[in-house]
Chains A and B, each alone.
Chain A
């Protein structure tokens, strides 16, 4: 590609960067309709193509009028799906299992029971701190920090560059990542802005912060693959009434270590495999029983081309729980973010969870519990924790006290203090 074309692409508008050649090719229409239908039915390709041809043939004034509508409709069209998925029955397919199930000579307890026994969490303050809020106390607070440091250390050894990203992001970035931010109960929290231009939201994952970092960047192709790790708080407004998801399983705020990759288009499939292998290594060393699932199209969201979830067995809950996912988003995000290579290509992006703290804590504690309820931690965490067993919290008992309705007593101490 010639330099001026590169320049033109780099400074092009979002509408110009979409893959119109593919979207409006009549020979792709049925494929696109089928793909949309299999991915929860969001998007109308016929409306997009009709509006696009009207846009092309209009004068400048009319173009301006329909620009926003065309962009909104076109951005709703989901990414393509990996061909292997179209043969499936829209259910996850187990592609790998790891670890062996432990034989307990006692009934393994649920995380909630263990945490209650050792006073390591508190989840009853929603009246003050909002629904599904939780405190991790003493050794579980230590465990959170240890898991972060352990995961970061593994990622650094795999060539990941550590970046600290903001949790407060412009709405556009979150939408460019494929998240819907509007509606009566979207998954995204919005900050109350003083000015109309302060359209800021709380990030649902560090993937969004990294996308913000990469937006409008042109990366030398020789630097690819670019692998980035970030630790962030994640804010998700999603709700759940499923009893298995109570406690800290599905929460509105949590800490997560995220992996993000920018790959040459030809390399992203291998990159996705690498991300999944890293996840297997991180969770495998934690002694968890794992299975890797190739996720069907209905679970890909708008952005993913292919997605693998890793689930860990939670012996107390007697269920498999999702602990991570890794997605190849091909050029879906890079086109929206204006992320290019110096060769003029839209690179492929991959994102994956390295460690989502609450779920890993549940899987770890339930897996490594002993008969007396103490939790024996895997050796890989000991250097980061400084100890290898979790038991009773050092926090003293705090007793709930409901204040009496009338209490006009004078406090002697206070009076003394004032006069002093």
Chain B
């Protein structure tokens, strides 16, 4: 089902999500179970009830359409010489039917929009590996002693001037590290056939509107007087930029897997300003995005997880690879693996990167299609695989130098 979703009334932007309500409601018990496992506030019964009402209204709409067609036929058959009283009656009837149809059609449109909104909140299917608790698939040894906080170490070494999560300055080798650490990873990705993108930094409100349930970060900008809608700054290392690129396009099945990466800025709000570089508004980062045949999804996912595990191992810092539990996943994610770095100072792990399987959930939402092939929509694997700021923090705390 395709319908326009837009809060931005004046915008010409149109995204028509593919939402298959029948298939979802046919498996309502399964979805109730995953809603429960994900601890979401989504009432599947309410959606089913809403959908029944919508279908009933759609039937009324069809009947009214048929009635209008029939009345027009009767008027036509009566011809110019027909009974005047009968003609007047039919014209009155046609007018009433037209008004009724107009109201019903408008209500139907509103209900369809509301239904799509409800359906976008229905979570993605859960991958068999997603459990109800975190599963640690790799964990290196963690140090027992702390060398101090990275902010102090960085300051002492003349590498860091930290003022707030929105304002920090990397100096000398730390500034070079920002450029070089992602460059190393880029070389690895390129050798695996990943193609580079230098992405824009903004997305319009409409993209975030339909993709807010994916694992994305963004910050809104104030509108100028002549702006039609709100723009959000995400940075080039964002899933949203890839979705915007591939939205409403088709790719030949033979071209899959299509592996892409972007090295750029990554902007977003801060959850807790108490953790220095582990949680900042801005950092350089590396984003991957893969369009895959559903049958090859596992191979693609394993490839990137293996490369990233090797990368973090090569940094000689304590980290773990975690399969995140169902209740931690974003609505659009089916499976997520986090790369988490250990801070000896804060005595806890912080996420530095992640890779998520979205199956075909967001390719349907953004209308990313296949030209030919068994499956109509490709599966998407994507993630911000490494953020420089937390990586730098962890290296400073564990190695005391760069």
Contacts and interface: CB of A to CB of B under 8 A. Distances in A.
B204 A127 contact: yes
Interface of B: 1-2, 11-16, 18, 20, 22-23, 26-27, 30, 125, 128, 161, 166-172, 174-176, 178-179, 183, 186, 195-204, 206-207, 219-222, 224-226, 230-231, 233, 235-236, 241, 244-252, 255, 258, 260, 262-265, 267, 281-282, 284, 294, 359-360, 367, 369, 371, 374-377
Nearest to B280: A166
Given A137-B195, A418-B23, 5 more contacts: A137-B198, A161-B172, A166-B281, A398-B246, A407-B2
Contact of A237 (B183, B224, B282): B224
B220 A192 contact: yes
Contacts of B168: 166
Main SS class of interface, A: mixed
A235 interface: yes
A169 B167 CA distance: 7
B125 A398 contact: no
A107 B359 CA distance: 48
A167 B265 contact: yes
13 contacts: A125-B244, A130-B204, A135-B197, A135-B245, A142-B196, A191-B233, A237-B224, A253-B201, A394-B195, A405-B2, A411-B23, A414-B23, A419-B27
Q: Please list the 6 inter-chain residue pairs (A to B) with the smallest Cβ-Cβ separation, ordered nearest first.
A: A141-B196, A128-B244, A164-B170, A136-B198, A133-B200, A396-B255
A235 B255 CA distance: 35
Main SS class of interface, B: mixed
B1 A401 contact: no
A44 interface: no
B281 to A, nearest CB: 6
Interface centre among A128, A252, A400 (most CB of B within 10 A): A128
Interface of A: 122, 125, 127-130, 133-138, 140-142, 144-145, 148-149, 152, 161-170, 184-185, 189-192, 200, 202, 209, 212-213, 230-231, 233, 235, 237, 252-253, 255, 393-411, 413-415, 417-420
A293 B165 CA distance: 40
A403 B367 contact: yes
Nearest to B225: A184
Given A166-B166, A200-B166, A190 B200 contact: no
Given A130-B231, A415-B23, A164 B178 contact: yes
A165 B168 CA distance: 7
Nearest to A156: B176
A235 B247 CA distance: 25
Contact of A406 (B2, B219, B262): B2
Contacts of A411: 20, 23, 376-377
A413 B262 CA distance: 30
A166 B196 contact: no
A418 B172 contact: no
A237 B206 CA distance: 20
Nearest to A409: B20
Nearest to B234: A129
A128 B204 contact: yes
B248 A403 contact: yes
